[in-house]
Amino acid sequence: MGLTVLGVSVDEKKAAYEGFIRKYSPPFATVRDAEHRLVKRVQAPKMPTTYVVDRRGVVRYVHEGYHGETSDKLLREQVQGLLAEKAD
pTM recorded for the entire structure: 0.78
Q: What are φ and ψ of residue 48, in 5° steps?
A: -80, 155
How does pLDDT run across 6-47, given as a tens digit for each residue?
999 999 999 999 999 999 999 999 999 999 999 899 888 888
Paired sense of beta strands 6-9 and 29-32, if any = parallel
Domain ranges within the chain, ordered by starting residue: 1-34, 45-88
Give SS3 for 52: strand
Cα distances (Å, whole numbers) of residue 51 to 19, 20, 65: 24, 21, 11
How does pLDDT run across 66-78, given as a tens digit for each residue?
877 778 899 999 9
The C-alpha atoms of residue 87 and residue 22 are separated, in whole angstroms, by: 36
